[in-house]
Amino acid sequence: MTDQPITTDRLALLAHDLRTRLAAMELATTLIKNEPLTAFQSERVEILRGAIEALGAMTDELVRQDARAGADRADELPSAAAILKGVAGLFQICANAKGLGFDADLAIECRDWAPKQPSHLDRAVAVLLDNAVKYTREGKVSLSARCLPQGSMAESTQNQAAVLEIVVADTGPGLPPGESSDVFRPFVRGSAGRAGIDGDGLGLWGASELIQEMGGQLDVTLPEAGGSRFCVMVPVFPAEGAGPPDLTDGARPSGDAHPLDADVLVVDDNETNLRLLSALLETFGVRVQQVSGGSAALAALNAERFDAVLLDLNMPDMDGRALAAKCQASQKLKDLPLIAVTAAHETADLAELNRLGIVDLVAKPLAPARLYAALARILNHGGA
What gap in Å lies between CA 40 and CA 345, rounded to an integer? 35
Q: How confident is the model at residue 345 (pLDDT cuts 50, 70, 90)?
A: low
Of 6 and 67, the structure prediction assigns the larger pLDDT to 6
The pLDDT value recorded for residue 7 is: 59
Is residue 98 scored above 80 in pLDDT? yes
Hey, how many other C-beta atoms are within 10 angstroms of the C-beta on 355?
12
* Per-residue exposure over 22-37, b if at least 16 CB sit within 10 Å of its own CB, e if not: bbbbbbbbbbebbeee
| DSSP string computed for 95-147 | HHHTT-EEEEEE-GGGGGEE-S-HHHHHHHHHHHHHHHHHH--SSEEEEEEEE
Residue 265 and residue 307: Cα distance in Å, rounded? Answer: 8
Q: Are 165 and 148 in contact (CB under 8 A)?
A: yes
Dihedral pair phi/psi, residue 128, rounded to 5° = -65, -40
* CATH level 3 topology of 8-238: Heat Shock Protein 90 (3.30.565)
pLDDT, position 68? 41
CATH placement of domain 262-378? 3.40.50.2300
**Residue 143's pLDDT is what?**
95
251-304 pLDDT, tens digit each:
334 444 578 889 999 999 888 788 878 888 888 889 999 998 899 999 999 999
Mean pLDDT to the nearest integer, 311-327: 89
pLDDT band for 223, please (50, 70, 90 cuts): confident
Q: How far apart are CA 240 and CA 234, in angstroms?
A: 18
pLDDT for the residue 310: 94
Query: Which range, 19-33, 176-190, 199-213, 258-272, has the best average confidence (pLDDT)?
Result: 258-272
Q: What is the mean pLDDT of the chain?
A: 78
Residue 87 has a pLDDT of: 87
**Per-domain residue ranges of the chain:** 8-238, 262-378
DSSP element (H, E) containing 288: strand 286-291
Across the range 110-135, mean pLDDT stands at 90
Averaged pLDDT, 160-176:
85
Q: Of 77-91, 273-287, 289-303, 359-373, which gets the smallest average pLDDT?
A: 359-373
Exposure of 153 by Cβ count < 10 A (0-12 exposed, 13-18 middle, 19+ buried)? middle
What is the distance between the terminal CA atoms of the chain, rounded to a whole angstrom?
50
Instruction: Please tell me which residue, 200 or 59, carries the higher pLDDT value.
Output: 59
Closest by alpha carbon to 132, among 93, 81, 80, 91? 91
